[in-house]
């Protein structure tokens, strides 16, 4: 009576006589008989389904219920069917081979056609599956297609195989597709992120197949998820819920989505040549847009329409920023207090020299840890053999460029006097080599501490007039007092009581000493003193 009840259920659901007959291998007259008896009874479907088998038999078949005993050959075949069903799943085993084996041992048994029908019916009964309910905004299924696509390398012109990533929201069947270089975690995370942005929001869980990039170790109770993939999911507020191993029903929807991509996207781009991944993905997006806009089979709406109607409002908002994928490496701090990543050197404090540190980096930043202690943060720089350092690390040696340091000296000179600034620029021009110019200019400014500010200005003016450019030249002028003629006079300084006069230094000879009338006498005096 189970078949009878199913016939009535299908009729109540709107199936026609022909469809019901084909589905349950019953004659159309028998189906019409059952339907007519149901209509004449005037009872509801629920009440009819609640009747006992005896009552149903009397109502729809007539007469008293009787159980037909199966034939001997049917009993023999039923005993063999479990073994045949197991063997049929093995490679190379067919229904015909099983029938040949059966007919040799049972020459009076069923013919080939009936044997195949009974075997397949048994397998369907043993593989019965329940209906899986999908909820709006709950899951996103992901997988890679088995068949890869091909692009032409932009630089070499050689063909290159690429993977095809597929994602689907099971409630609305809204589908996303993208080509990536590989199935590595970097490409998997990027594709998943692009899928979330394509859908506009995030589901509660992401359901991957047991991909190595997503699942480190499979387990029926609690699989181990890849750390980086789990960090990505946490950033978007999702859980990772891998499909069970050897349970194809867990991922049936995404596998069906892959098959649909073969029929739509793959078919649309067949025979076309693409130079680079971007060109291929552009064509995939065009085909995908058309695929989601087409009405689904036996329905009057498309995947896009179903998504907007039933699921879009149930997804959770995306975070403000995209996920930055981080990598980790271990390095030893060198004697110069630097660590190296991709041939570029980054500074750490001196106390970590010789210690092992962890470098955690992404495309923008680089962080250095010693155990659980944060050591330093740098902006990532991939310039080969370059150095990035922070002044707070107080590393030994000289840091920075001579151009920068010389510029700082010029700024200091400008704050003293324009005469000093102009002279130092002349010194830098005559020295030609920046390190020499820097040292000379730095030394000239240091003379302020020994001789005073005014004498330094006067000495620079004197040296500039004499066209002498260098530290030793300025030092000689100051030691000999040749700067006296360039010092401001009392008149220049003012004679008012409120204006202080400049003090006289014992080593300053005055401009009278250098007059032509006294020059010969001064030379004679100096020669006598030398004797």
Nearby residues of 164 by Cβ (< 8 Å), 6 or more positions away: 144, 145, 147, 148, 149, 177, 178, 179, 180, 261
> How confident is the model over 129-148, as pLDDT tens digits?
545 567 788 888 888 888 88
> Which residue would you say has higher pLDDT here, 493 or 77?
77
If one counts every other C-beta atom within 10 angstroms of the C-beta of residue 480, the result is 11
| CA dist., res. 173 & res. 176, Å (int) | 10
pLDDT of res. 252? 67
- Give the chain's length: 531
Tokens matching residue 283 = 């064509």
Cβ pair 203, 236 in contact under 8 A = no
| CA dist., res. 141 & res. 209, Å (int) | 8
| CA dist., res. 32 & res. 47, Å (int) | 20
> How confident is the model over 362-394, as pLDDT tens digits?
777 899 999 889 999 998 888 888 888 887 887
| CA dist., res. 483 & res. 478, Å (int) | 6
501 CB-side CA count, 13 A: 9
pLDDT of res. 492? 53
> How confident is the model over 241-283, as pLDDT tens digits?
877 665 555 566 777 788 888 888 888 888 888 888 888 999 9
Cβ pair 93, 105 in contact under 8 A = no
> How confident is the model over 54-106, as pLDDT tens digits?
677 667 766 444 456 678 888 888 888 888 888 887 767 888 889 999 999 88
Residue 128 burial by CB count (10 A; 0-12/13-18/19+): exposed, middle or buried?
exposed
| The CATH number, out of the four listed (2.60.40.1930, 3.30.420.10, 3.40.50.2300, 3.40.50.720), of the domain defined by the range 139-314 | 3.30.420.10
Which helix (DSSP H) or strand (DSSP E) does residue 266 occupy?
Answer: helix 265-269
Tokens matching residue 501 = 């006069």
Backbone φ and ψ for 504, nearest 5 degrees, come out as: -90, 135
| CA dist., res. 472 & res. 327, Å (int) | 55
Which helix (DSSP H) or strand (DSSP E) does residue 327 occupy?
Answer: strand 327-332
Cα-based torsion angle of the residue sequence 5, 6, 10, 12 in order, rounded to the nearest 10 degrees: 20
Dihedral sign from CA coordinates of 367, 370, 371, 374 = negative
Q: Where are the domains of the chain?
A: 2-60, 72-126, 139-314, 327-393, 402-523
> How confident is the model over 419-440, as pLDDT tens digits?
999 999 999 888 888 888 888 9
């Amino acid at each position: 009576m189970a078949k009878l009840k199913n016939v009535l259920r299908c009729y109540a659901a709107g199936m026609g006589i022909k469809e019901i007959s084909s589905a349950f291998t019953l004659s159309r007259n028998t189906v019409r008989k059952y339907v007519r008896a149901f209509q004449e009874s005037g009872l509801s479907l629920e009440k009819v389904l609640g009747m006992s088998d005896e009552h149903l038999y009397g109502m729809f078949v007539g007469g008293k219920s009787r159980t037909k005993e199966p034939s001997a050959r049917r009993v023999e075949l039923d005993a063999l069917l479990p073994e045949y069903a197991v063997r049929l799943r093995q490679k190379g085993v067919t229904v015909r081979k099983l029938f040949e084996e059966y007919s040799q041992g049972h020459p009076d048994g069923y013919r080939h056609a009936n044997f195949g029908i009974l075997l397949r019916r048994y397998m369907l009964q043993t593989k019965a599956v329940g209906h899986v309910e999908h909820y709006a905004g709950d899951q996103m299924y992901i997988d890679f297609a088995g068949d890869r696509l091909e692009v032409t390398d932009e630089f070499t012109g050689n063909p290159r195989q690429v993977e095809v990533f597929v994602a689907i929201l099971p409630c609305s069947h809204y589908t996303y597709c993208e080509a990536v270089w590989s199935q590595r975690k970097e490409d998997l995370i990027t594709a998943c992120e692009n899928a979330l942005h394509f859908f506009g929001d995030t589901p509660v869980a992401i359901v991957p197949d047991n991909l190595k990039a997503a699942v480190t170790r499979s387990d029926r109770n609690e699989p181990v998820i890849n750390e980086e993939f789990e960090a990505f999911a946490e950033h978007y507020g999702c859980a990772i819920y891998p499909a069970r191993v050897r349970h194809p029903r867990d991922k049936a929807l995404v596998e069906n989505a892959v098959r649909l991509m073969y029929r739509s996207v793959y078919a649309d781009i067949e025979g076309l040549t693409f130079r680079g991944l971007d060109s291929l993905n552009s064509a995939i997006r065009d085909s995908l847009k058309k695929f989601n806009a087409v009405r689904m089979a036996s329905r009057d709406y498309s995947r896009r329409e179903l998504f907007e109607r039933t699921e879009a409002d149930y997804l959770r908002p995306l975070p403000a920023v995209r996920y930055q994928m981080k990598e980790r490496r271990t390095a030893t701090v060198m004697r110069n207090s630097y660590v190296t990543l991709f041939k570029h050197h980054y500074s750490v404090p001196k106390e970590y020299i010789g210690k092992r540190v962890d470098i955690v980096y992404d495309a923008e930043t680089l962080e250095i840890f010693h155990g659980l202690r944060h050591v330093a943060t740098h902006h990532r720089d991939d310039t080969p053999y370059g150095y990035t350092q922070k002044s707070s690390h107080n590393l030994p040696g000289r840091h920075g460029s001579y151009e920068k340091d010389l510029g700082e000296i010029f700024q200091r000179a400008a704050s003293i006097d324009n005469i000093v600034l102009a002279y130092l620029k002349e010194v830098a021009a005559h020295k030609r080599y920046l390190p020499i110019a820097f040292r000379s200019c730095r030394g000239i400014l240091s003379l302020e501490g020994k001789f005073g500010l005014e004498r330094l200005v006067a000495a620079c003016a004197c040296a500039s007039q004499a066209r002498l450019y260098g530290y030793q030249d300025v030092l000689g002028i100051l030691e000999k007092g040749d700067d006296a003629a360039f010092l401001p006079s009392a008149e220049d300084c003012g004679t008012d009581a409120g204006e202080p006069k400049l003090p006289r230094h014992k080593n300053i000879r005055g401009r009278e000493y250098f007059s032509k009338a006294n020059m010969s006498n001064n030379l004679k005096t100096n020669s006598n003193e030398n004797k």
